[in-house]
Structure 1
C-alpha cells in the first residue's frame, strides 16, 4: 500500500464531524488531529528533551478510535476492507502508544531535570500533562526512598547523594535530522567543537542535520519537523 492509498484510507476511517479545538471557534477534523499527533510523535522520538505535551489531541483521537471501531462493526465481516481498516486502526494505536512511552522514558531518565524545569513555567506553558506531572513526582519520591534505603547501609561519608549528582540532563547539543516546513532565515548554528557560530537559512522543504539547541525554537513553533 503506497502513501496516497494510506492517506485515502485514513480519510475514510476518520470521516466524521469537525472536532472542537480548545473551546475556541477553530475546528479540526479527526484527520487534522491525527496529523498533529504523528508530527508530535516524530518530534518527541528524535528530540533529546521532552517537548510540550499534546494530551488533548491524544484524548480526542482515543475517542475517535472508539467511533471508528463502532463504524467498522457495521461492515460485513467478509468485506476485505474490514481487515485493512483494522490494520490502520492498529497503526494509529501504535503511534499514540509509542508517543506516550517515549515521553515516559524521558521523564524517568531526566526526572529531576524535567521537574526542575517545570517549576519555572506557569500552568498554561507546562510541558507535562497533569498525569505526567503526577507520575514524575511519585517517581522521584520512590527513587529517593530506594536510594535512602541503600545509602543507609553505606559508610557514613557516602550516605548522602547531592541533588546535582542525581540530575541527568538531555544533551541539547546533539544533532537532529529535520525538514523545514517553511523558509526560516537567520538561524544561528553553534559549533560547540570549534566554539564559533554560523548564520544559515533553511529553505522550505529542505532537509538538514543540525544541533538541536540551534533549532529547538523552530521545532516548537512548527517551522521545522524532526525526521
Structure 2
C-alpha cells in the first residue's frame, strides 16, 4: 500500500513539475501584459491558449486523483494555488480582449486588420454585440432623429469619415522593453526619423505606433 501511494505521489509530482516548468505560462503572462498595455487589440494567441487549456485540464485531473490518493494537504494546496494563478491569468487575458472588443466594437467590425486578430469565438461575440448595440441605438435614439443624422457611425450625412466610431489611440505613449537589440530597419520607414534603435532590456517611453511593428514581430514587450 505504501509503495503504491509513493509511486502515485511521484507520478503526480513529475506531472506537476512538467506543468510549471513549461514556458507556456511565461508566454501567457507576456501576452497578458502586452494586451493590457496596448491601446489596440492584438493578435489572438490561439496556439498558446489551446496549450494552456490542455495543461490546466491535465493539472486539474492530477490534483483530483492525488487528493483521492491521500496526498499531503499542504502540498496539494500549493499545487492548487499555482493552478489557480494560471487560470486567473488566462481568464484575465481573455477578459481584457473582450473589454477592448466592447469598447471599439464598430471600429473592429469595419476594419479587416482588427477583425482578423480575433478568435472565432471573439468574432462571433463582436458580431452579436454590434447587432445588439445597433438595435439599441436605433430604438432609443436614432429612429427619432432626422434621416441625415440617424447613423451610428457618422454625426451627419455630410461627414466624410465615421466620426462617431471610437478608435484606439495609436499615438498614445507606452513603456516598453526590447527583447533584443533593435535597429532602424525593424521600425516602419515612416517612423525611422523618430526612433532609430533600441537597446535590449532598456525601458523606453515611446509612442505606441512607433513600436507597433516590432511588437507584432515579438521583438518588444510592453510593460
**Shared fold per TM-score greater than 0.5:** yes
- Whole-Å separation in 1 of the counterparts to 2:152 and 2:57: 48
Q: Structure 1: give runs of 5+ residues left out of the alignment.
A: 1-10, 17-28, 190-195
Larger radius of gyration: 2
Which residue of structure 1 aligns with residue 101 of structure 2? 107
* Contact 2:182 2:198 (C-alpha < 8 Å) held by counterparts: yes
On the 8 A contact 2:187/2:213 being kept in 1, the answer is no
- Contact 1:151 1:159 (C-alpha < 8 Å) held by counterparts: no
RMSD: 2.8
After superposition, the Cα gap between the structure-2 partners of 1:212 and 1:14, relative to the gap in structure 1 and judged at 3 Å, is: farther
Structure 1 residue 148 displacement after superposition: 0.8
Match of 1:142?
132
2:137·2:152 contact (CA, 8 Å) conserved in 1?
no
Greater percentage in strand:
1
Equivalent in the alignment of 2:79: 85
Distance apart, 1:37 and its partner CA: 1.4
In 2, Cα distance between the equivalents of 1:115 and 1:200?
A: 34
Residue number among 178, 181, 184 corresponding to 2:179 in the alignment: 181
How many residue pairs end up in the alignment?
197
User: Is 2:37 aligned against 1:46?
Assistant: yes
More helix by share: 2
- The TM-score with structure 2 as length reference comes to 0.78
Unaligned stretches of 5+ residues in structure 2: 1-13, 154-161
Distance 1:140 1:85, change over 3 A: same
Partner Cα separation in structure 2 for residue 35 and residue 207 of structure 1: 19
Q: TM-score, normalised by structure 1?
A: 0.77
Deviations 1:46-95, CA, capped at 9 Å, x for gaps: 00000000133212211211111222231534342211111111110111
